[in-house]
């Protein structure tokens, strides 16, 4: 484990106020700190047909930093959903959602059965939705999430940036990680280095 209490192959997530020593490239900052619905923004930007491709979904152990962020015991399993958000045939965003089993009770049971529906559209339709502060991280090939995020890209970038937030729907938490790929409109690979 590193000094942040996590495995070395996990990214270090930081709140915006702690990024003074870790500048975020201008090309990605607007995406990382946008408080609105990412799904809505991508749909508006994509002219070639926005779609969600499910990479995997099932019960598993969250990463140590995810369990810690959600206040879960390290050994507790959660529903983990990994998807790529596409514009046409181009992957723009990798998303990983961790949903504790206690969140999937009652009205929130439907979160386990989204299929290819975007989670963002469901969450932002909830008038009682609450979102905690966004944390961001720069990921490189030494991080586990990096390899899943960049699958399907023609060329592997040196680094990618992501954000995560804990959302509360029906008063119950879930963690959403969103990793922005260099193929997203307006991004140039050089800005990721």
For the segment 45-58, what is each residue's pLDDT rounded down to a tens digit?
A: 998 899 999 999 99
Distance CA 39, CA 166 (A): 16
pLDDT in tens, 122-171: 999 888 899 999 999 999 999 989 999 998 888 888 999 999 999 999 99
pLDDT of residue 40 exceeding 60: yes
Indicate the average pLDDT of the chain: 87
Q: How large is the greatest C-alpha to C-alpha distance in the chain, in angstroms? A: 46
Distance CA 52, CA 84 (A): 6
* Beta carbons of 90 and 181 less than 8 angstroms apart: no
> Which residue, among 11, 25, 13, 19, has the nearest Cα to 142 in the 3D structure?
11
Domain boundaries, the chain: 14-96+103-192
pLDDT in tens, 86-113: 999 999 999 999 999 999 998 899 999 9
N residues, the chain: 193
* pLDDT score at 4: 46
Q: Helix, strand, coil % (nearest 5) of the chain?
A: 25, 30, 40
Pick among 1.10.3210.10, 1.20.1250.20, 3.40.1410.10, 1.10.620.20: CATH of 14-96+103-192? 3.40.1410.10
Q: Is 191 left (phi over 0), alpha (psi -120 to 50) or beta?
A: alpha
Distances (CA, A) of 108 to 1, 99, 105, 112: 34, 10, 6, 8
* pLDDT score at 101: 95
More confidently predicted of 185 and 84: 84
Mean pLDDT, range 168-183, rounded to an integer: 94
């Amino acid at each position: 484990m590193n000094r942040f209490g996590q495995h070395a192959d996990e990214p270090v997530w930081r709140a915006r106020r702690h990024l003074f020593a870790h500048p975020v490239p201008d090309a990605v900052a607007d995406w990382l700190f946008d408080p609105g619905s990412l799904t809505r923004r991508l749909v508006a930007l994509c002219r070639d047909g926005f779609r969600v491709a499910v990479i995997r979904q099932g019960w598993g152990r969250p990463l140590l930093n995810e369990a810690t962020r959600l206040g879960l015991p390290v050994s507790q399993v959660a529903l983990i959903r990994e998807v790529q958000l596409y514009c046409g045939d181009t992957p723009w965003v990798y998303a990983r959602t961790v949903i504790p089993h206690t969140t999937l009770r009652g009205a929130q049971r439907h979160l386990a059965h989204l299929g290819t529906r975007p989670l963002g559209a469901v969450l932002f339709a909830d008038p009682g939705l609450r979102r905690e502060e966004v944390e961001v991280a720069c990921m490189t090939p030494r991080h586990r999430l990096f390899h899943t995020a960049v699958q399907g890209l023609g060329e592997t970038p040196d680094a990618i940036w992501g954000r995560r937030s804990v959302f509360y729907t029906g008063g119950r938490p879930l963690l959403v990680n969103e990793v922005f790929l260099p193929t997203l409109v307006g991004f140039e690979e050089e800005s990721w280095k």
